[in-house]
Amino acid sequence: MTNWGVRVGRWMAAATGMACAALSAMPAKAEWREARGRHFVLYGNMPEDTLRTMATRLEQFDGAMRQLHALPEQEGEESNPVTVYVLPDESAVRRLYGKGGDHIAGFYEPRVSGSVAFTPMRGQGDGLNALKPQIVLFHEYAHHFLLGNSQIAYPAWYSEGYAEFVSTARFDREGIMIGVAAQHRAYGLIDSSKLPIETLFDSTRRKLDSHELDQVYGRGWLLTHYTQFDPTQSPKLNAYLKLLNQGVPSIAAGDQAFGSLKALDRQLDGYLRRSTLPGRLVRYERLPKAEIAVRTMSPGEQQMMPLRMQSDRGVNRTTGQQVYERAARIAAAYPGDAVVQGWFAEMAYDVGQDVAAEAAADRALAIDAKSQQALLYKGLLHLRRAYTEHSRDPARWREARSWIIRANRVDTNAAEPLATFYRSFLMAGEKPSDSAVAGLGRAFELVPQDRGLRFLLAGQQITADQIDDAKRTLRPLAFDPHSPADNPAATLLALLEAGKTQEVKVALATMTDRRGQED
């Protein structure tokens, strides 16, 4: 799983630890609350007024970005909100992140089952150059917003630079000011050795050290700010992104679009030396009203929350078993809590405890017959059994899909049941039905952030000989700087561009088999 995260600068303290340590990172006496807006669900262990203010600002922040980009609301967005977990501090975020998270202050994971972000409630220090919690929250949300409202791939410098650019939003009396200076990047921009612009634009995905990564954020912010507010640079940025998504290497695309990267670097140095930087005010009256619903979570949910965060973060065999064993005791104490039982069904499913998972799903459905999570996991369990047993009985597959269909009917705009219904045909070795193919396309419209879903759609388009559509779907994956060096999307796209349709179908079948075995 690829993460987008905020990295702290070198001057800030780092913490390490195993992911499972986050299970005990929360205060002993929890008072967890849930705040729901149109675009997110926010969980925090804090007073109601504090959580409501945080959620209101996040909803207004979403509206401000839509104003900046003239993006209307999309039908179904409220059915696929990003879930944001607010942890006590950056150290708790790092423990939850696990290996490789030494300098992480927050992170975001896009997925069709529900995108998630993790952010701290308290930062480190209150000075002018401190990385404040609101900046981390807005940075992670900006990744979700950008990926969900664009069909192109962005280079690492712009992906992080844009998130930094909007994350410093300031709430003034008249509105939200966008483009406020990123003071938390001041050290890396002014007092540190400068990252060569060729390294900033490098798309070969070579490993960068912590100083270089900090510079990607800082210089990325500076370049994004420059291209947003200088009218002569915006067309050049658009030209660069177009070239990049056509397969032109990033450095060559930069030289071609901007004229010369070295000249651009000198212009950036001059822009940084300016005494003031421009900003843009989005007035409150132009924003939709932020409708926020806050509730205090049930006693069972309160106890489950640290485990729920770990589960949503992602588990392996060891951590998943730890989560399952602890959650089993809580679930046993709260058999009448449908949410607790639904969460536990997922935790049990993750470690192959199918009997316990189905019993929990049944308990949830006995309380709430429209529990989409319980219906979905009933279907997933039945699908897994049929797949594991190599069933060729059509009736058995139809019965398993019936649970997915029921989950879909609870909310027809929820993406996960649509994607699961399509995958069920692949699991059965059957040609997907027309409705399954349509559902896959709709799921992708709803959650374009999920790379696996994009790859699945491209595979369907290749199978259907919709080659031009497949190329458009694959390009953001193929040129995504966050992808590994052996990027399968790049392999498929190269074959498609060369007109080797049969070779690409063979390669796709091999990749699909390998992914199925890994799943």
Q: Are residues 331 and 241 in the same domain?
A: no
Residue that finishes a domain, picked among 238, 264, 286: 286
Average pLDDT, the chain: 88
Handedness of CA 266, 271, 272, 274 (dihedral sign): positive
For the residues of 194-232, what is the DSSP string, one character each? PPPHHHHH--S-PPP-HHHHHHHHHHHHHHHHHHHH-TT
Give CA–CA dist 243/129, Å, rounded: 36
Q: Are residues 245 and 353 in the same domain?
A: no
Angle between helix axes 133-148 and 156-167 (nearest 10 degrees) is 130
Q: Are residues 216 and 340 in the same domain?
A: no
DSSP designation for 46: S
User: 476 falls in which pLDDT band (50, 70, 90)?
Assistant: confident
Q: Are residues 190 and 216 in the same domain?
A: yes
Give CA–CA dist 105/324, Å, rounded: 27
| Residue type present at position 137 | L
Q: How many domains does the chain have?
A: 2
Residue that finishes a domain, picked among 286, 311, 338: 286
Q: Are residues 171 and 229 in the same domain?
A: yes
Give CA–CA dist 388/217, Å, rounded: 45
Domain of residue 161, CATH code: 1.10.390
Give CA–CA dist 261/278, Å, rounded: 23
Residue that finishes a domain, picked among 232, 256, 286: 286
Tokens of 73: 């609301």
Instruction: Assess if residue 20 is contained within a domain.
Output: no
**Residues in a beta bridge with 170:** 177
Give CA–CA dist 468/459, Å, rounded: 12
Q: Who contacts 79 (Cβ-Cβ below 8 Å, separation ≥6)?
A: 411, 413, 414, 415, 446
Domain of residue 322, CATH code: 1.25.40.10
Q: How far is CA 314 from the centre of its chain?
A: 13
Give CA–CA dist 162/165, Å, rounded: 5
The CA radius of gyration of the chain, in Å to the nearest whole number, is 23
Nearest one of 470, 468, 457 to 512, comparing CA atoms: 457
Tokens of 66: 């839509």
Give CA–CA dist 223/230, Å, rounded: 10
- pLDDT tens-digit series, residues 404-431: 999 999 999 999 999 999 999 999 999 9
Instruction: Assess if residue 33 is contained within a domain.
Output: no
Q: Are residues 134 and 190 in the same domain?
A: yes
For the residues of 422-465, what is the DSSP string, one character each? HHHHHHHT-PPPHHHHHHHHHHHHH-TT-HHHHHHHHHHHHHTT
DSSP reduced 3-state for 282: strand
Instruction: Assess if residue 159 is contained within a domain.
Output: yes
Nearest one of 473, 476, 405 to 439, comparing CA atoms: 405
Nearest one of 196, 216, 202, 377 to 269, comparing CA atoms: 196
pLDDT of residue 30: 55
Average pLDDT over residues 484-502: 84
Nearest one of 99, 126, 117, 149 to 5, comparing CA atoms: 117
Give CA–CA dist 344/342, Å, rounded: 5
pLDDT score of 6 more than 60: no
Average pLDDT over residues 19-31: 48
Instruction: Assess if residue 103 is contained within a domain.
Output: yes
Give CA–CA dist 457/446, Å, rounded: 13
Block residue for tokens 């409501």: 52
Angle between helix axes 451-463 and 434-446 (nearest 10 degrees) is 150
Percent of the chain with pLDDT over 70: 88
Instruction: Assess if residue 36 is contained within a domain.
Output: no
151-165, 183-197, 319-333, 342-356, range with the lowest pLDDT: 183-197
Instruction: Assess if residue 74 is contained within a domain.
Output: yes
Give CA–CA dist 167/313, Å, rounded: 23
Average pLDDT over residues 158-185: 91
Q: Are residues 282 and 302 in the same domain?
A: no
DSSP designation for 317: H
pTM of the predicted model, to two decimals? 0.87
Q: Are residues 451 and 425 in the same domain?
A: yes
Listed ranges 137-141, 185-189, 399-403, 480-484; the one with the highest mean pLDDT? 399-403
Give CA–CA dist 316/232, Å, rounded: 49
Give CA–CA dist 37/56, Å, rounded: 8
Q: Are residues 123 and 248 in the same domain?
A: yes
Q: Are residues 178 and 58 in the same domain?
A: yes
pLDDT of residue 126: 57
For the residues of 43-74, what is the DSSP string, one character each? EEES-HHHHHHHHHHHHHHHHHHHHHHT----
Of the two residues 225 and 514, the one the predictor is more confident about is 225
Query: Are the CB atoms for 361 and 342 separated by under 8 Å?
Result: yes
What is the domain range of residue 46? 4-12+41-286
DSSP reduced 3-state for 6: strand
Query: Are the CB atoms for 96 and 87 separated by under 8 Å?
Result: yes
Angle between helix axes 250-258 and 261-272 (nearest 10 degrees) is 70
Q: How far is CA 303 from the centre of its chain?
A: 26
Query: Are the CB atoms for 45 and 27 separated by under 8 Å?
Result: yes
Average pLDDT over residues 175-180: 94
Instruction: Assess if residue 259 is contained within a domain.
Output: yes
Q: Who contacts 466 (Cβ-Cβ below 8 Å, separation ≥6)?
A: none
Q: Are residues 241 and 122 in the same domain?
A: yes
Q: Are residues 77 and 56 in the same domain?
A: yes
Instruction: Assess if residue 75 is contained within a domain.
Output: yes
Nearest one of 238, 54, 74 to 148, comparing CA atoms: 74
User: 287 falls in which pLDDT band (50, 70, 90)?
Assistant: very high
pLDDT of residue 485: 65
